[in-house]
């Protein structure tokens, strides 16, 4: 994920609003206690998600891939009064700690945390959504996109994380693994889809920001 020189990255973070005390602790405890802490959105990306959510002012958000709850807390900062964020994850082992973070953030009533297979749960969830964040298993990225697109209001947004996949998307001279191929297929399909507009931002591991236009 280290696309930007370390000194530039440090300068960017120093000139970006700080994490809250709770988010800083979620960040620290994730790195101390949870496998694959690089899956955490982290300081800069978290502030980007919060900023985008504030700009969109969503009434309803759907997140696919909760992990330790960092990104959900960030996006919930932009919910309008009475808004709701539904977040889905299959990892039952993290459920208690994630719910505790949500409670400490005062978001128990705002966040609907569901444990299960997103491919099975999404069809049962009614839209419309103003914002959808995809950050789960890469093999299903395109499936998730196709499942949620019609649940996003016209003018609403989908954001997908890890779309640069540690730079592997441009290393096509080497043998391509299944996850890299899934990301390549997702990026191409979204870019060629007439129903949406898209911008790929080189933030952290890549954020694909998509706006539904039809």
Instruction: Evaluate the CA torsion angle 109, 69, 23, 128 in order and state its sign.
Output: negative
β partners of residue 85: 61, 111
- β-bridge pairing 84-89 and 111-115: parallel
This prediction's pTM = 0.96
Angle at 55 between CA 205 and CA 160, to 5 degrees: 25
Mean pLDDT of 132-145: 98
Looking at residue 158, the DSSP 8-state letter turns out to be E
What integer pLDDT is reported at residue 172 of this predicted model? 75
Average predicted confidence (pLDDT) for the chain = 96
Q: Band of the pLDDT at 38, cuts 50, 70, 90?
A: confident
pLDDT tens per residue, range 154-186: 999 999 999 999 999 998 777 899 999 999 999
What integer pLDDT is reported at residue 5 of this predicted model? 87
**How do the domains of the chain map onto residue ranges?**
6-212
Distance CA 5, CA 8 (A): 5
Distance CA 100, CA 69 (A): 10
Distance CA 155, CA 117 (A): 27
SS (H, E, C) 17-42: CCCCHHHHHHHHHHHHHCCCHHHCCH
Copy the structure tokens of residue 6: 């370390």
Quickly name the fold that domain 6-212 has: Rossmann fold (3.40.50)
Q: What are the phi and psi torsion angles at 106 (to 5°)?
A: 75, 30
How long is the chain?
214
Distance CA 143, CA 192 (A): 16
């Amino acid at each position: 994920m280290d696309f930007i020189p370390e000194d530039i990255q440090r300068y960017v973070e120093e000139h970006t609003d700080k994490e809250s005390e709770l988010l800083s602790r979620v960040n620290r405890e994730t790195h101390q206690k949870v496998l694959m802490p690089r899956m955490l959105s982290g300081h800069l990306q978290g502030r980007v998600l919060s900023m985008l959510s504030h700009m969109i002012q969503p009434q309803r958000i759907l997140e696919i891939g909760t992990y330790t709850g960092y990104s959900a807390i960030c996006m919930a900062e932009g919910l309008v009064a009475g808004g709701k964020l539904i977040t889905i994850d299959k990892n039952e082992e993290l459920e208690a700690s994630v719910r505790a973070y949500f409670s400490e953030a005062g978001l128990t009533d705002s966040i609907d945390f569901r444990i299960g297979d997103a491919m099975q749960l999404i069809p049962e969830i009614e839209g419309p959504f103003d914002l959808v964040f995809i950050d789960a298993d890469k093999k299903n990225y395109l499936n998730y996109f196709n499942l949620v697109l019609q649940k996003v209001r016209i003018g609403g947004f989908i954001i997908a994380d890890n779309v640069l996949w540690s730079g592997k998307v441009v290393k096509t001279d080497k043998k391509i693994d299944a996850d890299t191929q899934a990301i390549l297929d997702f990026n191409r399909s979204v870019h060629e889809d007439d129903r949406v507009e898209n911008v790929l931002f080189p933030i952290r591991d890549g954020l694909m920001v998509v706006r539904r236009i039809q």
